[in-house]
Structure 1
Amino acid sequence: MGKRFWTKNGLGYNDKVILLAMVFMILMDGVVDGESLIKQKLLEVNKRLKLLNRPAVKSIQSEDGEIIDCIDLFKQPAFDHPMLKNHTIQMKPTYDPPTMRTTKQESSTKLVSQVWRRSGSCPQGTIPIRRIRKINILKANSLEDYGRKRSPASSRASSSTRTMRGASQTNHFNQKANQSVAILLTEGYNYIGAKGDINVWNPYVESDDEYTTAQICIKDGPYYDFESIESGWTVNPGVYGDRRTRFFSYWTVTDASKKTGCFDLLCPGFVQTSNEIALGSAIEPISVTAGPQYHIALTIFKDPYTRNWWLQMGNDIKIGYWPPDIFSGLSHIASSVEWGGQVYSTNVRKIPHTSTAMGSGEFPAFMYGSACYIGHIRILDYSLTWKYPSWVYPLADEYNCYNAFSWIEDTEPTLYFGGPGRSFKCP
């Protein structure tokens, strides 16, 4: 452990290295008063930490080294949002979507759990929040960007082959700069919910400024200024400081993450009600090739009466909700839903390509026990009945690097997706 050199809330060895690098860059830029700028930066970081790390009713030291703070339900970050100053918490939805029959494949997999729960639990009336470390914020490009996806601005329109229930057709869609996806898309209707069982893996991430996800995403708006609600698992060292697989939620409003939105509770917006789930916390066990398979069962649905978008894990844990007040189009309905994977890197669609993997790191052709999958895919509309989408399209904008296809087994469609990134097929 490096010697600490700062005061009360001092920095460790890694922080010192970062600050020395900051000094070097400042001197290289010809700035004379570098020390003042560093002090100003630290003041801003400490101010942000104070907003993120609220006074705790109880703190839990997890066996994986993280600290989970149990925060008073009514003092959570959500209520710093200007639209939620007078918000009344809805502790449970007025409508509970029906559960679904377990399939043969699902019965052979197991649900994961969060590591911190082995070390304790938060009391009723509180919510668990993962404590943010100073080093994570110092590594961010800017305080404003910390916790937000890098905006996937459109790079160009491209052609890709879509497969729809075994038939092929050519579709034009917009690739996003620095982002590669392999997904199942449905669009064209009014959606108020989506669900799926997401197979859990721990794919390789090459660089600290890259990330990979497996998720469900509900969207509204054009590709360049969309709103979205997302949840699943991710390996994201830039936000979490390591390469562990973590459960996450995400949202953005009207600008496709250019200046709004964040992971988990890193900005005000999501109202958490559960004392059982810590957003952003590590999950285990992880699936093993040709071995045990594990998944998280996720549901996102709109309460038809309050219009809150609820996030649910399993059949009964209502984690919390996104209020309609923070959205525009999504305050009413969603116009598309996506299931699948996403990789962010400045080296997608380049040679050499990033070796950051998606899913399990295997192509979908390897299927169950090797490739990552999402089963029990369903959407919800105003009939309030879960159904498989009438029209779905597997899409992959770098099919030699990451791919996706839908496979029907035992009458239940399953999306397989993923890939290794850089390989002999993807130089």
Structure 2
Amino acid sequence: MESSYFRDMTPILAVFLLFFLLFTPVFPTTNLKDFRHINTTFQPNKQLSKATMKTIKSPDGDIIDCVLIHFQPAFNNPMLKVTKPLDPPEIPNGNKKGGMEKKVKQLWSSKGKSCPHGTIPIRRQTESEILASDSISTFKKTLSRKDFNYSNDGHQHAVAYVTDGEFYGAKASLNVWAPNVTRPFDFSLSQIWVIADVPTHGLSTLEAGWQVAPAMYGNKLPRFFLYWTNDGYRSGCYNLLCSGFVQTTHEICLGATFDALSTYNGTQYDFDVLIWKDPRHGNWWLRVGTIIVGYWPVALFPDFSKHATAIEYGGEVFNAQSPGQQPTSTIMGSGHFATEGFGKASFVRNMEIVDEHNVLQSVGDVNLLTEKPNCYDIKNGFNSFWGYYIFFGGPGNNPHCT
């Protein structure tokens, strides 16, 4: 979830340690060194409970509350000055390579259960999960794209990126796996980053994809997630844990698991992610498969008032151990290197950007970044069906990974 712009993390605050000392820790405290607590989380309250119209228990154990749409966390923010979501804008025109777009299926609704119209599904989180979400999501701004410095801060990337131009959105199909995450506070993900790097304000990002993060969700299942920061990762937010994203659909649950996953040398499952700027109101919208999920209000993201300055596609692994210790065995993607190709390595295909005319264009030539190619690697390519694509991933710790 952290963009490859930055490589430094802040120490954990005393509040975070105190919490785990007072209450029986679920995970060893030795893994907590690189986290800090912030107070931007959305805490469940009586108002939200009263606004719950229906509750669904997912087969994976998740509890999903169907909450009246105008009671969602975003409308607690006085900066928005609205009490109901906007109507979605026109979807960008352009290429539709790779076949018809598919509806994303999640486990909580796999048996025909659904939230009523006029509500949105919100996954319940425990206090420890909320605390972990805050801690994992906050990072310090230290470097810009032009100043790559491969310091060992626990983050490993395998990404393709573009920085030459003005970007009004991005789209790609992300291949979904269930990578083994070996340490409780590690995570592994695949996503799109839409980035605005304004020198006077710092970096802002809008991010969406899938993630395995045991500390945040209580298990090792891949989940659809979104994330944002507007201050260079000094603070930020996952899903609907604070006032930043306005959800408009009753069909997709942020933080919920997928109903279908890829298997090695078997069936491959992917889904489309599209982030784009509404040409009329300036808000940045998110579409997953065939469903418009909601939007990030531009009032909360002034650096996105014009356009984005960079786009990234690919994977990331976070190693929660202290810098300098043994590399993590948390895998990226399928856990297999890019050279193994289709059915074995993870991929992102049909990588596109949205131009100033609200038209999708092929991303074209991309730059590739991987800090330690013997741990996780990446390769890119092009064909007429997939457009521009990347394969990426790896096993992490192995005899050649140092």
TM-score range normalised by the length of the shorter chain: 0.7 to 0.9
Residue 18 of structure 1, CA deviation: 6.9
1:250 — aligned with what?
227
Q: Which moved more, 1:360-369 or 1:224-233?
A: 224-233
1:115 — aligned with what?
107
Larger C-alpha radius of gyration, 1 or 2?
Answer: 1
- Please, what TM-score do these two structures have when normalized by structure 2? 0.83
Question: Does residue 288 of the first structure (1) align with residue 263 of the second (2)?
Answer: yes
1:124 — aligned with what?
117
Please give the residue correspondences for 1:171-250 in structure 2 after superposition, counting only pairs within 5 Å. 173-175=148-150, 177-221=153-197, 225-250=202-227
- The structure-2 alpha-carbon separation of the partners of 1:21 and 1:289, relative to structure 1 and needing over 3 Å to count, comes to closer
Say if 1:147 and 1:239, in contact at 8 Å, map to a contact too: no
Residue 133 of structure 1, CA deviation: 2.2
Residue 70 of structure 1, CA deviation: 0.7
1:393 — aligned with what?
367
1:39 — aligned with what?
none
- Please give the secondary structure, in 1, of the residue aligned with 2:45: helix
Question: Does residue 265 of the first structure (1) align with residue 240 of the second (2)?
Answer: yes
Please give the residue correspondences for 1:15-414 in structure 2 after superposition, counting only pairs within 5 Å. 19-20=23-24, 48-50=43-45, 54-55=49-50, 56-86=52-82, 89-93=85-89, 95-98=90-93, 100-103=95-98, 112-119=104-111, 120-137=113-130, 140=131, 146=134, 149-151=137-139, 154=142, 173-175=148-150, 177-221=153-197, 225-253=202-230, 255-259=231-235, 261-314=236-289, 316-347=290-321, 350-410=324-384, 412-414=387-389
In 2, Cα distance between equivalents of 1:346 and 1:133: 21
Residue 258 of structure 1, CA deviation: 1.2
In 2, Cα distance between equivalents of 1:240 and 1:414: 30
- The structure-2 alpha-carbon separation of the partners of 1:53 and 1:246, relative to structure 1 and needing over 3 Å to count, comes to farther
**What letter matches 2:134 in structure 1?**
Y
From 378, 397, 401, the counterpart of 1:422: 397
**What letter matches 2:254 in structure 1?**
L
2:14 — aligned with what?
none
Residue 320 of structure 1, CA deviation: 0.3
In 2, Cα distance between equivalents of 1:189 and 1:399: 28
In 2, Cα distance between equivalents of 1:62 and 1:413: 36
- The structure-2 alpha-carbon separation of the partners of 1:191 and 1:54, relative to structure 1 and needing over 3 Å to count, comes to farther
**What letter matches 1:186 in structure 2?**
V
Say if 1:192 and 1:333, in contact at 8 Å, map to a contact too: yes
Identity of aligned residues (%): 34
Residue 345 of structure 1, CA deviation: 1.6
Residue 313 of structure 1, CA deviation: 1.0
Residue 332 of structure 1, CA deviation: 2.0
In 2, Cα distance between equivalents of 1:67 and 1:382: 41
- Please give the secondary structure, in 2, of the residue aligned with 1:83: coil
Residue 87 of structure 1, CA deviation: 5.5
Report the number of matched residues.
367
- The structure-2 alpha-carbon separation of the partners of 1:221 and 1:54, relative to structure 1 and needing over 3 Å to count, comes to farther
- Please give the secondary structure, in 2, of the residue aligned with 1:188: coil
Please, which runs of 5 or more residues in structure 1 have no aligned partner? Answer: 1-14, 26-43, 159-170
Residue 235 of structure 1, CA deviation: 0.2
Residue 391 of structure 1, CA deviation: 4.0
In 1, Cα distance between equivalents of 2:238 and 2:322: 22
The structure carrying a bigger strand percent of its residues is 1
**What letter matches 1:282 in structure 2?**
T
Residue 294 of structure 1, CA deviation: 0.1
Say if 1:157 and 1:174, in contact at 8 Å, map to a contact too: no
Residue 240 of structure 1, CA deviation: 1.1
Render the CA deviation track for 1:121-144: whole Å, top value 9, x for unaligned.
01111111111123424xx36xxx
- The structure-2 alpha-carbon separation of the partners of 1:337 and 1:80, relative to structure 1 and needing over 3 Å to count, comes to same
In 2, Cα distance between equivalents of 1:419 and 1:204: 11
1:31 — aligned with what?
none
**What letter matches 1:288 in structure 2?**
T
In 2, Cα distance between equivalents of 1:203 and 1:334: 30
Residue 264 of structure 1, CA deviation: 0.5
- Please give the secondary structure, in 2, of the residue aligned with 1:82: coil
- Please give the secondary structure, in 1, of the residue aligned with 2:70: helix
**What letter matches 1:275 in structure 2?**
H
Say if 2:187 and 2:317, in contact at 8 Å, map to a contact too: yes
Residue 82 of structure 1, CA deviation: 2.8
In 1, Cα distance between equivalents of 2:93 and 2:107: 29
Q: What RMSD over aligned residues (CA atoms) do the two structures have, in Å? A: 3.0
- Please give the secondary structure, in 1, of the residue aligned with 2:241: coil
- Please give the secondary structure, in 1, of the residue aligned with 2:165: strand
Render the CA deviation track for 1:31-77: whole Å, top value 9, x for unaligned.
xxxxxxxxxxxxx9x99332895430111111211111111111100
- The structure-2 alpha-carbon separation of the partners of 1:349 and 1:422, relative to structure 1 and needing over 3 Å to count, comes to farther
Render the CA deviation track for 1:181-236: whole Å, top value 9, x for unaligned.
11000012111110000000011112111111100010011699310000000001
- Please give the secondary structure, in 2, of the residue aligned with 1:136: helix
- Please give the secondary structure, in 1, of the residue aligned with 2:202: coil
Render the CA deviation track for 1:347-391: whole Å, top value 9, x for unaligned.
487341111111111111111000000011000111322112244
In 1, Cα distance between equivalents of 2:223 and 2:367: 27
In 2, Cα distance between equivalents of 1:294 and 1:339: 17
**What letter matches 2:205 in structure 1?**
S
Say if 2:42 and 2:240, in contact at 8 Å, map to a contact too: no
